[in-house]
Structure 1
Amino acid sequence: MTTSLGSDRALDSPAWHSLHGEHARFAQVHGRAARYHSDVSPFHALADPDDPRSWDDLAALVAPVEPVVLAGFGERPGPGWQVAHSGAGVQLIDVALRAEPDPEAVVLTAEDVPEILDLIGRTQPGPYLRRTIELGTYLGLRHRGDLIAMAGERLRPPGFTEISAVCTDPAHRGRGLATRLIRAVAAGIRSRGETPFLHTGAANTGAIRLYEKLGFELRRTVDFTAYQRA
């Protein structure tokens, strides 16, 4: 259920609003369905999941055996589709975060992608692809030259930016690196007059407690569901 903080409907379908706004250059659109380029993000979006025409347009947009990832619709496949698998998550929004730049954080670039993918592979914060770095600013912290922590910007519905890919090398956890990067990424978001938000798994109670301690508040529960043709 959406709290009173969740009055902006753009956050109910952030991928759709991102693909029709700030991320239009990464979008493939067919009628009432949209998707990111497959090397940028795995997310798809529908104008209205209760409208069978949206699902028909989605079928025209993707290959017959291609997996489709949609968020926040409650595992409601349209005609001709079925749920492949689903995971429960939460969406949180900044209400009292102390945002501040970090003098040691470095802006990551395309040259850093091999290191980024290695860190993502070892920490599993969520999907990160070869061109995900193009979605926004990603910051990292290094130790003796090695990338040990990162966080950055992903979905950008109007007035908001999602903080994503928050991860720390296991050997360097417990030092507050994730907190520093979240605050630094949020500082950049706030400088544009936008509000940070983020997603995490519903079972990731440690991360949820950290985010709430930093000043985020639960906005709603959200499913991340993969669909396939029936």
Structure 2
Amino acid sequence: MAEVPEDVIWRTMTGVQSHFAIGSGGVRRYADGFSPILVFADVANPDFDSLMACCQLGDRFYCERWSGSPPEGWSIEAESTMFKMIYEGPTPEPVDDEDMVELGPEHAQQALDLALLTNPGPFGLRTLELGSYYGYFDDDRLIAMAGERFDAPPLREVSGVCTHPDYVGRGYAKRLMHRVMREEMERGQIPFLHVLSHNEVAHGMYLRMGFRDSLETIVRIVKRVSA
């Protein structure tokens, strides 16, 4: 039975997506413009010294698994827990929907605006470059999207799932996810995702879709507050 490894983000940023990441020693983070996420190789001994060399005063990052006290110069702005879920269902049926649009660089600002409105997780202006993204539009306004982020073969993350509040309940998220998941499985990849533990609505939907909780971990937003 496949599981999501605890170090899936480290494997991503030192492997397939190393060209999207910066850092040295025991820390990596996505480069500026991508999702503001960092990862420590050893959460028992987080390498904040190396992190200081690749960030600026005021920078905020999502950080998982590390639960220690912040060193001088850093603060914890938020703390929660999240599930890492892995898909165990059949390959989704093909999605035949002419209204579904593959997102590209020309949609980056709209994707960021939708993410800031709906808060599906950390997102940046260049996040669309991390994988395939699809969306729905109402006229020229992006109203729903889903795509890919972490890539640690054979695992491929489904991410950025969100719908504008005015369009919730129309099945957009599920159809978009099925498109992304089918493409991943056709490539021999195993879909997985992250969801905050308190987001019962999304967690319940993912369980019904065939995802299973693999593990639960702490997640924090940390901020550099001094030099």
Return the TM-score normalized by structure 2.
Answer: 0.88
Q: Could you say if the C-alpha distance between residues 97 and 172 of structure 1 is closer, same or farther in structure 2, counting changes exceeding 3 Å? A: farther
1:55 aligned partner, one-letter code: F
Paired with 1:141 and 1:64, the residues of 2 have a C-alpha distance of 37
Correspondence 1:46-195 to 2 at 5 A:
46-51=40-45, 54-73=47-66, 75-77=67-69, 79-80=71-72, 82-104=75-97, 105-195=100-190
Deviation at 1:98, TM superposition (A): 4.0
SS at match of 1:120: helix
Q: How many correspondences in the alignment?
A: 222
Equivalent pair of 1:15/1:43 in contact (CA under 8 Å): no
Q: Secondary structure at the match of 1:156?
A: strand
> Which amino acid in 1 is paired with 2:151?
R
Q: 1:56 to 1:193 in 2, by over 3 A?
A: same
The code of the aligned residue for 2:7 comes to S
- Indicate the percent of aligned positions where both proteins have the same amino acid: 32
Task: Give unpaired runs (5+ residues) of structure 1.
Answer: none
Matched, 1:224 2:195: no
Change (3 A) 1:173 1:31: same
More displaced, 117-126 or 17-26?
A: 117-126
Q: CA deviation at 1:64?
A: 4.8
For 1:82 and 1:144, locate their aligned partners in 2 and report how far apart those are by CA, in whole Å: 42
* 2:126 counterpart letter in structure 1: R
Partner of 1:35: 29
Contact between 2:70 and 2:76, CA under 8 Å: does it hold in 1?
no
Change (3 A) 1:146 1:82: closer
Alignment-derived partner of residue 25 in structure 1: 19
Q: Kindly provide the amino acid, as one letter, of the partner of residue 18 in structure 1.
A: T
Q: Which amino acid aligns with 2:68?
A: R
Tell me how far 1:142 sits from its aligned partner: 2.7
The residue identity in structure 1 corresponding to 2:146 is: A
Segments of 5+ residues of structure 2 without an aligned counterpart are none
Q: Residue 23 and residue 77 in structure 1: after superposition, are their counterparts in 2 closer, same or farther (change >3 A)?
A: farther
